[in-house]
Amino acid sequence: MLFARLAAEGAGRPVARQGFADGPWTPETLAEAVSSLEGNEKGIELRAVQTWFQDNDNGISNDNIRWLARIFGCNDPEEASKWQAELKASKDRLTNQRREKKRRDDSSEGLETEPLSIVMPQVSEPSNIVVSTSTSITTDVGQRKAKSFPEKCEWMLSGAGSMNLLIAYWLVFCGLGLLNYVLNTLSVTYSPVGGLDNQVGFIWAPTLTVLPLIALPAFIFYVSDLNTYWKRVGRFKCTADDVISINSESNEAWYAKVNDFSFSFWAIASFCFLFVFGFQWAGIYMPAYLSGDTIGVQIDRYLVALVRPEVISVGEAMALSFIGYLYTASYIAIFMFGLLFLVIVVLDYQDLCTTAALEGSAADTNQLRKVGQKIVWGGFRIAVFALWLASLVKLQITYLSSDGPDFVTWLRTDALSVFGATSIRNGWLDNTSISHFTSFLMLVVTVTIFVVCALVIQTVFERLSVYDQDYPFSLDQHAIVKMLAVIGLLSFNLVLVGRFTGFSLLLAASTLASLHVLSGPKLRTF
């Protein structure tokens, strides 16, 4: 490497009496010389210079090459320009050699099979290893290894996989609608009190109509949009070629990051299956079916069999509720997986930016800022529809606790009561649902994750000094205030559903605010 020869010869150092340089460069003397150059106000860290003297396959950043050229050229502009060109050419040759060596190593890995040996993959460049029950491990570049559970979730919520997931949900929706049609529960009422017919049918439940048709597809789309952007575009924009510890030529580092959260993925899946499905269906619905006791239990399209057995039998209701709660557990899992991927993307962004800063990379702060802004914007859209998922759950269970004849009339009566257009007031039934806790948990998790992720990115911005006179913080402040206002409005909307007369107006305001901010051209470019 050209730098190694120049450092050993002491190029640019004071000349002794014999006409030779006054000794070679050391990391300490070179770091001091670079830091003392006019125009280099930030200086340079000693550990960054130390990497230049090591077996550094990635070379030196372009900004640091500029400083070195001035030193080797004794601060003469013409000589510095020549040395800068030579050092960059040396770096390009080194990069080409590294890539060619990597190709040769990858090719040789597919040809070598060693019995009774274990080949440990490098962290930065995982190899395709297939473990069999025999006494050997075979490495085959052409053979695809099985995806881990986190990788399957990542595929499911990015690219074409997300469209497959949406189609699957729509097919399940159509299947549930067909089952309810066959069982006569698309539209069915019961009388909780004399003179009141409460509608609990399939098509009157927002969690079975608005949620799968609008809110859930939008949530999946925005999660997929963020994942796909980060994996295919954003991550590579945040990875510089001169950073030693990051492999910028494949997505293996991204999958490694996803696999680091394997416990979280399995914990979420277990929680949704055991609590959302198991506890609610086996712990609440099954005892009600077996005992026939409806006291204190919220009657819905599944439990209506206990009060109107002529419409649907208990056995049919048990089977329908089994499928329905598996469906509910699945979209709660998708909800939590989506928020987890937001966390993973933000932490990966932080790691890349921090590593680049520590290794003295010539990072383009303007580009890093734009990527961070896109992540914040993507996280905001995910948070908005996550809160709408929780709000629809809250609306459904709150309506079932009211004396409204149906969901639409319940909302219309509340809105008209504010303006005195009706003398009717919504009342409440003596029942409750554990889903109140579920919706509150969804609210807390969503808001916490969005705020924490936004703060993490803000910390990265401060470290990289992305805000300056050319791009002050005030340019982003307006967008951030709007985002926080919408998140706050949606949170209040969820908490206050059914708590006061006029909550439907707050619901309408939340809807309009969400659509305004999501469609705003200024925020789309954030």
Q: What pLDDT score does 220 carry?
A: 96
Report the pLDDT value the prediction gives residue 450, as an integer from 0 to 100. Answer: 96
Nearest to 447 by CA among 508, 382, 496: 382
Q: Give the start-to-end residue ranges of the domains of the chain.
A: 2-95, 108-146, 150-524
Per-residue H/E/C for 241-307: CCCCCCCCCCCHHHHHHHHCCHHHHHHHHHHHHHHHHHHHHHHHHHHHHHHCCCCCECCCCCHHHHC
CB atoms within 10 A of CB 430: 9
pLDDT < 70 regions, the chain: 1, 3, 7-10, 15-22, 41, 55-59, 99, 101-145, 240-250, 356-363, 521-526
pLDDT tens-digit series, residues 439-475: 999 999 999 999 999 999 999 988 888 887 778 888 8
What's the pLDDT at 359? 54
pLDDT at 399: 93
Claim: this prediction has a pTM higher than 0.75? no
- 385-394: b (≥16 Cβ within 10 Å) or e: bbbbbbbbbb
Identify the pLDDT of residue 298: 86
pLDDT of the residue at 141: 43
Q: How many other CB atoms are there within 10 angstroms of residue 170's CB atom?
A: 14
Identify the helix (H) or strand (E) that includes residue 189: strand 189-190
Question: What's the pLDDT at 248?
Answer: 47
Cα–Cα dist 432/397, whole Å: 8
Closest Cα partner for 346 from 385, 376, 384? Answer: 376
